[in-house]
Amino acid sequence: MESTWHRDSAVGRLTMTLPIAVIALMIPVGLFLEELPRAIRFAPFVVSVGLFGLPHGAVDHLMPVRLSDASLKRSLAVVSVVYAILGGLYLAVWAVSPAVALVAFIGMTWFHWGQGDVFALRAFGEADHIRTRSDRWASLIVRGGLPMLVPLLGQPEGYQRVVNGIIELFDPTATAALAPLFRLDTRLALGVGFGVFTLSSLLWTARHVWKSDISAVGITWDAVEIGVLWVFFWLVPPVFAVGLYFAVWHAVRHIGRLAIVDPESRDALDAGEWPTALWRFYRDATPLTIASLALFAGLYVWVPTDGSLNALLAIYLVGIAVLTLPHVAVVTWMDRQQYGEAYY
């Protein structure tokens, strides 16, 4: 099965240019966003519930069918077991040690959002400069660190409010464990280290351009995206920035990937029949999206809150965390199916 859409195609252009266009346009908003009502700052996460964010992972149960010879029954059974075991164990960690669970959530999201961008660069763009396992790991670390680390560096107070709000759902005293993360000296060390690694990774992958006769378009596009995301996450308050990135960057690119492995959606998009492809996606994603909402409702009943926007966001993020671990397992399996055992 063909596993790429060139960026010059309609789907490639949408998948690669729509996210960066939206993110770039929102950078000036970050300068005055704190003066707007909190509902506006929380809007991307609210929209993500039904638009792209939450549904983008709700098609995992069909991936074994579309990427292997598994039957629908076996696909449903295997993915259900993966979600039940990994999600259940991770939920237990939240109850026992929320600080550890939160650090794990940041780490797995760092990895997952990095792997999503590495795949998108290869599948929808021109990523001749990302050839080897070391290239992929370097790109993954940078791409995942942009939404997970840069907000801590540029917007530490907002980042700490979100972190503390999540941990306090389970144990208000556990917030002290992560307090050193927000000290100035810690953030300076992380900022310098990550900045150096960002530049080094671009230079490392650029060696393919210098040593062989390949176009510099891919490395240029890579550098532009990284630069825009650095500025965006530095300036824009974390709740709005991460929520918007989740909905219009990561989720949109993963939905493009889902279309690649669904022959009918791919044919529809190649023919310019966007409504057909979108209908197929939402049809496939609706059952598990509803099931996910039931999980959030259960968390709301289980964990006492004051019903504020901050508390509701914290509940939503814990639910997303519980779903993220098995989703990462499925997507990692997809990477290996589509690009081989040596992908990482």
- 260: closest CA among 234, 239, 241, 280? 280
Is 250 annotated in some ligand binding site? yes
- 195: closest CA among 232, 158, 155, 149? 149
Residue type, 8: D
Is 56 annotated in some ligand binding site? yes
Distance CA 122, CA 260 (A): 13
Distance CA 166, CA 299 (A): 12
268 near 69, Cβ under 8 Å? no
Under DSSP, is residue 8 helix (H, G, I), strand (E, B) or coil?
Answer: coil
Is 112 annotated in some ligand binding site? yes
Distance CA 300, CA 63 (A): 30
Instruction: List the alpha helices (DSSP H) in the chain.
Output: 10-26, 38-50, 63-67, 72-96, 98-124, 133-154, 156-168, 184-211, 217-235, 238-245, 251-260, 263-270, 274-302, 309-339
Distance CA 95, CA 182 (A): 24
Enumerate the known binding-site residues for Fe cation: 56, 112, 250, 254
Enumerate the known binding-site residues: 56, 112, 250, 254
